[in-house]
Amino acid sequence: MAADARLFALSLRLILGGFYILVILILCINADENWDKDDDPISTVEVSAVLGKSASLPCDIEPTTRGDGVYMVLWFRGNSSKPIYSIDVRGRSFNRALNWSDEMVRPRARFVTVSQPAALILEAIALHDEGIYRCRVDFRKSPTRNFQVNLTVINPPSEIMMYVSLERGYIDTIVGPYQVGKEFGISCEVRGGKPPPIITWFVNGVEVNGRIKENNQNIIVSVLTVPQLRREHLNTTYKCRATNTKLVPPLEKSVVLEVYLKPLSVTIMSKPSILISENTYNLTCEVTGSHPRAKVTWLEGNVEFESGRTINNGNTSVVYSTLEFSPRPEDHGKQLKCRGENPKLNNTSLEDLFHLNVVFPPKVQLEIGNPLNAQNIKEEDDVYFECKVRANPEYHRITWKHNEIILVQNASAGIVMSSQNLVLQKINRENGGNYTCLASNDRGETSSTVVPLRVQFAPVCKTKEVTIIGASIDESVKIRCEVEADPNEVDFVWEFNNSGENFELAPAKFDGNNGTTSEFIYTPMSERDYGALTCWGRNAIGKQKTPCVYQVIPAVKPSPLNNCTIKASVNQSIETLEIECTPGYDGGLRQDFRLEAYEAHTNIIRANVSSIIPEAPIFRIPVADLLPATHFYLIVYAKNAKGRSDVSHLEDIMLRDSGKQTGNN
Ligand SMILES: *[C@@H]1O[C@H](CO)[C@@H](O)[C@H](O)[C@H]1NC(C)=O
Ligand SMILES: *[C@@H]1O[C@H](CO)[C@@H](O)[C@H](O)[C@H]1NC(C)=O
Ligand SMILES: *[C@@H]1O[C@H](CO)[C@@H](O)[C@H](O)[C@H]1NC(C)=O
Ligand SMILES: *[C@@H]1O[C@H](CO)[C@@H](O)[C@H](O)[C@H]1NC(C)=O
Ligand SMILES: *[C@@H]1O[C@H](CO)[C@@H](O)[C@H](O)[C@H]1NC(C)=O
Ligand SMILES: *[C@@H]1O[C@H](CO)[C@@H](O)[C@H](O)[C@H]1NC(C)=O
Ligand SMILES: *[C@@H]1O[C@H](CO)[C@@H](O)[C@H](O)[C@H]1NC(C)=O
Ligand SMILES: *[C@@H]1O[C@H](CO)[C@@H](O)[C@H](O)[C@H]1NC(C)=O
Ligand SMILES: *[C@@H]1O[C@H](CO)[C@@H](O)[C@H](O)[C@H]1NC(C)=O
Ligand SMILES: *[C@@H]1O[C@H](CO)[C@@H](O)[C@H](O)[C@H]1NC(C)=O
Ligand SMILES: *[C@@H]1O[C@H](CO)[C@@H](O)[C@H](O)[C@H]1NC(C)=O
Ligand SMILES: *[C@@H]1O[C@H](CO)[C@@H](O)[C@H](O)[C@H]1NC(C)=O
C-alpha cells in the first residue's frame, strides 16, 4: 500500500509541477519509515568490480504472480532517497519504457533485462563508485521489492618484479648463474593494488609458501629462500603471482635459475691394450654432468695432444670427444689423458688416462764407436760400431752388413759381435766401406742408414807381380809406378838394385809425381844398368811395405806363338775363321801379332791381318776373303821393336762349303 502511495506521489510530482514539493516531503518521510521497517529482510549482494571496467548490480524484476508486471524500477545510492536511475514502464511496453539517470551515472548506467536476474550495468567504474546501492521494484499487483548491493571497487596490483637478495637490479628471465652449495634467495616485489594483493609462489609449477618481508602502503615483498643450491636446481622455474581479484588475470613473473655444474665423470670408453704404429684409432672420451657444456681436452703427459683430430659431439649433458690419431713409436709408454672441465668453473677438471702401448718395427741407428776419431781411422786400428735399437716388442735379432754382404762372427779374422756392438780388430783396407745394421721384431725388420768406414792406409802397389821391361842399351823407357793409398798424397822413392849395387836414384831423373803415380824415365847405359828398379811410396800413414818392382832386362825379339786353334763360325751370315794362339815372351818390349794366309799350291798370299786386340794373338779372317781357293796354310808370328819372332805354321787348311776345319802347328 505504502509503495502505491509513493508511486502515486511521484506521478503527482510529474503532473502537478509547483505543488509537488510539499507532497514529496511527506512522501519522503513516509518512504524512510518504510525502509526502516523493511531493513531486516533485505539481504545484501556483494559485487566487486575492477577499476575502469564495468560493474553489474543485480536486481530481480520477475513478478511472482502470473499476469503481474513491473511498474517501475528505481536505483538509489547508499541511504539517499534520491534515485540515481529509474525506469518507468507504466502505460507502455517494457522495451519502450522511460528511463532516467542522474548526472553522476548518466552516460555510464543502463539497465539490462536480458540477463537473469536483470541488472544495472555501470561502465568505467571509478573508486568513488564503491558503496551500497539499492534497487526498488514496483509491480502492478505484487508488493514492492527491495534489493541491496554492496559494490566494492578493486584496483589490481600494477607492477610485479623480482630480484635476488643482496644483488642489485631486477631480474628479467634468467637468474644466476650460481654454484652448487650456495644459499639462494629470490624476492618478489608487488606494487599497487586495493585490496592488498596476495602473493603466491610456484616452483616448477608447484605452489610453495614464501615469506612476506615487507608490506607497506603500496609495496609488498615476498621472499623465497633455498638454503643450499643442489645440482637439481638447474633450470628450476620460479614463478611469483600477485592477485586481489578473480575478475582480471593475476600479475605473474617467472625466472629460470641457472646453476653451473662440475663434471661428474670422465671416461675414456675403450682403452686399446695394443696400438699398432701408423694405424689410425678413434678413442672416445665421455664427460658427463657439466653445465655449461664441458670442455674436453686430450693430453699426452701434461701437454696438449696435437697429433690428432678431435671431434666433439653429444648433447648438453653428455659430451663425447673422439680423438682420431695414429700412434707414433715416440708415443710408446706415454700417458694419454682425457680431461673434462667446466669452462666456467675453476678447479673442476676430472681426468681419465691410460698408458699407450704402441708396437712398431725397430728404429735403428748405427753409430761408429768413437766419433772424434772416425775421420782418422787407419790400418791396424780397432773399430767399434754400436747399433742403437728401439723396438716394441723388443727386437730379437741384429744383423750386420758390410757393403751389403752379411757379416759373420770370425774371431780369427778379427770380427767380434756382441749384443749390439760390432768390433773390428786390427783392420786393414778391405774393412773399409759401407756398414749397416738391421734389427727385427714381430713388426718387421729395419735397416739403419749407411755408415761409411774410411780406412786410411800406407801405399800399396797396384800390381802384385814384378813387371818385366825390356830395353836396349841407350834406349829410354818410361816406367810408371802406380800405388793405392789413402790419403792419396804420396811421395815416391826410386831405387836401383842389381847383384852388385843398390842405390837411390837421384830426384832429377823423375819425370814427376801425380798423386798415386810416379813416372820415371830410365835409360840403361851399359850391361850394369840391367837389374831391378824399385819404387816406394809414402803417405801420411806410412811407408809402403813392399815396393813395386820393375825388372829391366835387355830387349830381344819376341818368342813365337804356339798352341793355335782354328774355329769357323757364322756371325750374322758372315762366315769367319777365328785363330787363337798363346803368346810367348815379348822380349821385354811391346809386341804385335800377325797372321798371313797362303794358297797351298800357288803360295799366293790371301790374307795378312793383325790380332783383333793388341794384348792377345787372336785373329779373324772372313772366309769370303779366301774363296774361291779351298786349300791353304797359315803363318803366325809376333814382332817388337827388336824384330820378328820365328813363324809358326798351320798347314793343310781345307775349306768346305760351310764345314769346320781344324789345323795344327
Ligand atoms: C546515511 O548513511 C550515512 C553513512 O552511510 C550515515 O552517516 C547517515 O546517518 C545515514 N542517514 C540516514 C538518514 O539514515
Ligand atoms: C532509455 O531511454 C533512452 C532514450 O531516452 C533509450 O534510448 C533507451 O533505450 C532506454 N533504455 C532502456 C533500458 O529502456
Ligand atoms: C560492504 O563491503 C565492504 C567490503 O567489501 C564491507 O567492509 C562493508 O561492511 C560492506 N557493507 C555492508 C553494508 O555490507
Ligand atoms: C634447461 O632449459 C633449457 C631451455 O628450456 C634447455 O634447453 C636445457 O636442455 C635445459 N637443461 C637441462 C639440464 O635440463
Ligand atoms: C674415426 O672416426 C671418423 C669420424 O667418425 C671416421 O671417419 C673414421 O673412419 C674413424 N676411423 C676409424 C679407424 O674408426
Ligand atoms: C644426452 O645423451 C645421453 C646419451 O646419448 C642421453 O642418455 C641423455 O638423455 C641425453 N640428454 C639430453 C638432455 O638430451
Ligand atoms: C678462476 O680463477 C681465476 C684466477 O685464479 C679468477 O680470476 C676467476 O675469477 C676464477 N673464476 C671462478 C669462477 O672462480
Ligand atoms: C685452484 O687450484 C689452485 C691450485 O691447485 C689454487 O691455487 C686456486 O686457488 C684454486 N682456485 C679455486 C677457485 O679454487
Ligand atoms: C774366418 O776368417 C779367416 C781368415 O780371414 C777365413 O779363412 C775363415 O774362412 C773365416 N771363417 C769363417 C767361418 O768365415
Ligand atoms: C757406399 O755408399 C755410397 C753411397 O751410399 C756409394 O756411393 C758407395 O759406392 C758405397 N760403397 C761401396 C763400397 O759399396
Ligand atoms: C794424374 O794422372 C792421371 C792419370 O794418368 C791423369 O788423368 C791426371 O790428369 C793427372 N793429374 C795431374 C795433375 O797431372
Ligand atoms: C796348349 O793348350 C792346351 C789346352 O789349351 C794346354 O793344355 C797346353 O799346355 C798348351 N801348350 C802349350 C805349350 O802352351
Q: Is 79 in the pocket of ligand 1 (CB under 6 A)?
A: yes
Residue type, 541: I
Sort 422 into a burial class: Cβ within 10 Å, 0-12 / 13-18 / 19+: buried
**pLDDT category, 229, cuts 50, 70, 90?**
very high
Tens of pLDDT, residue by residue over 374-390, are 778 999 999 999 999 99
Q: Is 44 in the pocket of ligand 3 (CB under 6 A)?
A: yes
**28-34-37 Cα angle (round to 5):** 145
Tens of pLDDT, residue by residue over 249-274, are 999 999 999 999 999 999 999 999 99
Q: What is the CATH number of domain 360-453?
A: 2.60.40.10
Residue range 159-260 in CATH 2.60.40.10: yes
Give the pLDDT of residue 198. 94
Cross-strand bridge partners of residue 389: 364
The number of beta carbons lying within 10 Å of the beta carbon of residue 445 is 14
Locate 577 and state its grid cell.
775363321
Residue type, 616: A
Class of domain 562-663: mainly beta
Strand, helix or coil at 185? strand
**pLDDT category, 168, cuts 50, 70, 90?**
confident
Q: Is 565 in the pocket of ligand 5 (CB under 6 A)?
A: no
- Rounded to an integer, what distance in angstroms lies between the CA atom of residue 305 and that of residue 288? 21
The closest residue, in CA terms, to atom 2 on ligand 1 is 79
CA atoms within 13 A on the CB side of 170: 10
Cross-strand bridge partners of residue 302: none
Locate 115 and state its grid cell.
540477463
C-alpha of residue 163 to centroid of ligand 3, in Å: 37
Strand, helix or coil at 3? helix
Residue 27 predicted with pLDDT over 50 = no
Q: Which of 582, 648, 650, 662 to mutate to test the pocket of ligand 12 (most atoms within 8 A of CB)?
A: 582
Give the pLDDT of residue 332. 93
C-alpha of residue 251 to centroid of ligand 3, in Å: 26
Q: Is 563 in the pocket of ligand 12 (CB under 6 A)?
A: yes
Locate 47 and state its grid cell.
559485487
**12-14-15 Cα angle (round to 5):** 65
Radius of gyration of the CA atoms of the chain, in A: 68
**Shortest-distance atom of ligand 4 to CA 315:** 9
CB 560 within 8 A of CB 593: no
**Shortest-distance atom of ligand 10 to CA 452:** 1
Residue type, 622: P
Q: Which residues contact 328 (CB under 8 A, 6 or more apart)?
A: 277, 278, 307, 358, 360
Superfamily name with CATH number, domain 457-553: Immunoglobulins (2.60.40.10)
Give the pLDDT of residue 663. 42
Give the pLDDT of residue 568. 82
Q: Which of 514, 517, 519 to mutate to test the pocket of ligand 11 (most atoms within 8 A of CB)?
A: 514
Tens of pLDDT, residue by residue over 325-377, are 999 999 999 999 999 999 999 988 999 999 999 999 999 999 998 766 777 89
**How many angstroms separate the Cα of 431 from the Cα of each of 396, 537, 538?**
27, 22, 21
CB 311 within 8 A of CB 346: no
Q: Which residues contact 285 (CB under 8 A, 6 or more apart)?
A: 266, 267, 268, 269, 296, 298, 320, 321, 322, 323, 338, 340, 352
What mean pLDDT, rounded, does the chain reach?
Answer: 87
Tens of pLDDT, residue by residue over 377-432, are 999 999 999 999 999 999 998 999 999 999 999 999 999 999 899 999 999 989 99
**Where is average pLDDT lowest: 252-266, 296-310, 502-516, 534-548?**
502-516
Among the bound ligands, the one closest to the CA of 32: 1
Sort 20 into a burial class: Cβ within 10 Å, 0-12 / 13-18 / 19+: middle
User: What is the dihedral sign for C-alpha 511, 513, 519, 523?
Assistant: positive
Q: Is 664 in the pocket of ligand 12 (CB under 6 A)?
A: no
Among the bound ligands, the one closest to the CA of 345: 7
**How many angstroms separate the Cα of 470 from the Cα of each of 236, 550, 592, 646?**
119, 10, 15, 19
- Cis omega (within 30 of 0) on the bond before 227? no
Cross-strand bridge partners of residue 259: 178
Residues with CB under 6 A from ligand 2: 97, 99, 110-111
The topology (CATH level 3) of 37-154 is Immunoglobulin-like (2.60.40)
CB 242 within 8 A of CB 45: no
**H or E stretch covering 29:** helix 20-38
Long-range own/partner contacts, residues 308-316 (CB < 8 A, 24 or more apart) = 314/286, 316/291, 316/292
Residue 155 predicted with pLDDT over 80 = yes
Of the candidates 260, 261, 253, 258, which has an alpha carbon nearest to the alpha carbon of residue 175? 258
**Shortest-distance atom of ligand 1 to CA 32:** 13
More confident residue, 12 or 531: 531
Q: Which of 175, 232, 235, 259 to mutate to test the pocket of ligand 4 (most atoms within 8 A of CB)?
A: 235
Q: Which of 77, 79, 82 to mutate to test the pocket of ligand 1 (most atoms within 8 A of CB)?
A: 79
Residue type, 376: N
For residue 430, the 8-state DSSP code is: G
Locate 322 and state its grid cell.
673422439
Give the pLDDT of residue 10. 44
What mean pLDDT do residues 491-501 have?
Answer: 85
- Rounded to an integer, what distance in angstroms lies between the CA atom of residue 501 and that of residue 482? 24
For residues 384-396, one letter each, b for 16 or more C-beta atoms within 10 angstroms of the residue's C-beta and e for the rest, the string is ebebebebbeebe
Give the range with max mean pLDDT: 83-97, 261-275, 549-563, 586-600.
261-275
The number of beta carbons lying within 10 Å of the beta carbon of residue 371 is 8
CB 303 within 8 A of CB 343: no
Locate 174 and state its grid cell.
634468467
What mean pLDDT do residues 427-449 have?
Answer: 94
- Rounded to an integer, what distance in angstroms lies between the CA atom of residue 661 and that of residue 387? 65
Compute the 3-state secondary structure of the chain and give helix, strand, coil in percent, each to the nearest 5.
Answer: 10, 50, 40
Q: Is 131 in the pocket of ligand 1 (CB under 6 A)?
A: no
Look-up: residue for cell 844398368?
529
Q: What's the CATH architecture for 265-356?
A: Sandwich (2.60)
What mean pLDDT do residues 36-40 have?
Answer: 43
CB 210 within 8 A of CB 222: yes
Q: Is 608 in the pocket of ligand 11 (CB under 6 A)?
A: no
The closest residue, in CA terms, to atom 13 on ligand 9 is 410
Residues with CB under 6 A from ligand 6: 315-318
Among the bound ligands, the one closest to the CA of 347: 8
**H or E stretch covering 624:** helix 623-626
Domain map (residue ranges) of the chain: 37-154, 159-260, 265-356, 360-453, 457-553, 562-663
- Rounded to an integer, what distance in angstroms lies between the CA atom of residue 320 and that of residue 315? 8
CB 200 within 8 A of CB 207: yes
Residues with CB under 6 A from ligand 10: 403, 433-434, 450, 452
